[in-house]
């Protein structure tokens, strides 16, 4: 069997920029075996030893932020003004997980009983396969990688073919930080069957996947015939925002636009549908138009560019199909005049931010994941209608309510079916709060003290003094 060649196509130019080799049949066997051998050694290290390695690695990661940020811009198209910040945010997340690791992984004492020592220990589970995406490769990787290593596991990582160097850079950084050989391995593949083969390996004990619902189901299916293996899934989102009538409209418009079109809308928790109280609907639309007039779409290598290309021609087609479907069903394109929207670079996958009004749930743009810079805004008559529509979705990752009455906002988010709910904020995974999807947005969790749970198994120790 020949080894596949995986080509990375630049979203800026639509030209090939990188090539990587996929896996051979021998690799499919040797990678999990190497991971198991490394695990059997690494699990015997102390937590303090593992903490020192992670601490050094995070320091190195931060020092290389500019070079890594430039690679990200070249490979996935986010403007250079923002990509180094992804690396520094990844470091901050990792440092938080490092800070809480001792408390998160400590033993739990049983009831005191004379003549006995009884406790529950959190022990590492074994080799872990992490499949992470292109849209925020460093952020999504550290969510799983850092607690996995701190808990004492070995890790196999596969990056998206769009951002292959992210995994290679992380492997080099951890090697420089003193991580033993084999504890962290990288492979490249564009084949779901190869990924399924690795997931089925008897050595692999957990698969962490971030990506589409379809691919998540394929990964889950591949692991379904083995009892010990666990699967953590972070999948799609169609995250709603509800703007109540009491808000500062200009401020809310600025926040919603940023939450909807940052990274060209290519975030699992970007705002993909907006519900606005009918009393302020027209004013809110006008405010959003004013905000959009100030954005610049263009070459992501220029520091004043705010919106770059989307990742692929296929993404362009999906976004355009959602817009077309909405317009054919009665929506209005209310995007304001903006010269940069009209004349983006001639090459690449540039999609202008689009504001749609008069939308409803008969339109794909309000029900299916768009993953692009589109802001569909729907009028609602009251809180009850807003919450009903927000919950009318197969997804449940995040949701937000915007109001001056924070007590009322707090009350409303109790009724929203999502793993993370915000009042007056959006698009922000906090490291001290669990990141978890409801419905088809996934299962399992990362971040916070609960982010360690899937990387350990419980072992109860029951020791009785020898009778004298």
The residues, ordered by sequence, that sit 6+ positions from 141 with a Cβ below 8 Å of its Cβ are 90, 130, 132, 157, 159, 166, 167, 170
User: CA-CA distance, 189 to 179, in Å (whole number)?
Assistant: 24
State both tokens at 389. 């529509």
Does residue 364 contact residue 303 with C-beta atoms inside 8 Å? no
Identify the DSSP state of 313.
Answer: H
Question: How far, CA to CA in Å, does 291 sit from each of 276, 285, 338?
Answer: 17, 10, 11
Helix (H) or strand (E) holding 93: helix 83-105
User: CA-CA distance, 424 to 427, in Å (whole number)?
Assistant: 11
Q: Which of 234, 272, 368, 369 is catalytic?
A: 234
> Could you give the 3-state DSSP secondary structure of residue 323?
helix
User: CA-CA distance, 257 to 375, in Å (whole number)?
Assistant: 8
State both tokens at 429. 């995974």
Question: How far, CA to CA in Å, does 158 sit from each of 38, 182, 191, 219?
Answer: 18, 15, 11, 13
**Phi, psi torsion values for 315, nearest 5 degrees:** -65, -40
State both tokens at 288. 């959003």
46-69 burial, b for 16+ CB within 10 Å, e for fewer? eeeebbebbebbbebbbebbeebb
User: CA-CA distance, 123 to 217, in Å (whole number)?
Assistant: 28
Alpha-carbon torsion (346, 350, 353, 359), positive or negative: positive
Tell me the CA end-to-end span of the chain in Å, nearest whole number: 66
Closest alpha carbon to 118 in 467, 459, 466 = 459
234 is catalytic: yes
For residue 229, the cross-strand partners are none
Does residue 79 contact residue 73 with C-beta atoms inside 8 Å? yes
Positions annotated as catalytic residues are 234
């Amino acid at each position: 069997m020949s080894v596949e060649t995986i080509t990375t196509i630049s979203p800026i130019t639509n030209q090939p920029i990188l090539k990587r080799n996929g896996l051979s049949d021998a690799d499919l066997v040797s990678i999990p075996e190497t991971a198991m051998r490394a695990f059997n050694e690494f699990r015997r290290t102390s937590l303090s030893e593992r903490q020192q390695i992670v601490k050094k690695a995070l320091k190195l990661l931060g020092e290389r932020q500019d070079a890594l940020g430039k690679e990200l811009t070249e490979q996935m198209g986010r403007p250079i003004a923002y990509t180094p910040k992804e690396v520094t945010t990844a470091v901050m997340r990792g440092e938080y997980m490092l800070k809480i690791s001792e408390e998160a992984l400590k033993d739990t004492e049983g009831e005191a009983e004379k003549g006995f020592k009884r406790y529950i220990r959190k022990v590492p589970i074994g080799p872990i396969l992490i499949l992470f995406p292109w849209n925020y490769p460093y952020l999504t990787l550290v969510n799983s990688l850092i607690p996995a290593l701190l808990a004492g596991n070995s890790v196999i990582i596969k990056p998206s073919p769009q951002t292959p160097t992210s995994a290679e850079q992380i492997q080099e950084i951890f090697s420089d930080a003193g991580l033993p050989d084999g504890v962290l391995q990288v492979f490249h593949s564009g084949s779901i069957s190869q990924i399924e083969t690795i997931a089925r390996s008897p050595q692999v004990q957990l698969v962490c996947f971030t990506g589409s619902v379809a691919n998540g189901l394929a990964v889950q299916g591949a692991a379904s015939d083995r009892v010990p293996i666990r699967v953590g899934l972070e999948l799609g989102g169609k995250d709603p925002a509800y703007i109540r009538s009491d808000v500062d409209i200009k401020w809310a418009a600025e926040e919603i636009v940023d939450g909807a079109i940052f990274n060209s809308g290519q975030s699992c928790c970007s705002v993909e549908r907006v519900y606005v109280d009918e009393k302020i609907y027209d004013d809110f639309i006008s405010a959003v138009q004013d905000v959009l007039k100030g954005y610049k779409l263009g070459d992501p290598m220029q520091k004043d560019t705010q919106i770059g290309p989307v990742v692929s021609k296929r993404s362009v087609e999906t976004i355009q199909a959602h817009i077309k479907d909405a317009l054919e069903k009665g929506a209005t394109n209310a995007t304001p005049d903006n010269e940069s929207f009209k004349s983006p670079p001639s090459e690449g996958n540039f999609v202008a931010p689009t504001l749609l009004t008069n939308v409803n749930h008969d339109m794909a743009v309000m029900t299916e994941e768009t993953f692009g810079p589109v802001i569909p805004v729907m009028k609602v008559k009251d809180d009850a209608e807003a919450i009903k529509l927000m919950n009318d979705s197969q997804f449940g990752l995040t949701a937000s309510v915007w109001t001056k009455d924070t007590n009322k906002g707090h009350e409303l988010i109790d009724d929203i079916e999502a793993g993370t709910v915000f009042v007056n904020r959006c698009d922000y995974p906090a490291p001290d709060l669990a990141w978890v999807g409801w419905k088809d947005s996934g299962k399992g969790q990362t971040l916070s003290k609960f982010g360690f749970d899937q990387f350990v198994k419980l072992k109860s120790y029951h020791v009785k003094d020898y009778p004298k």
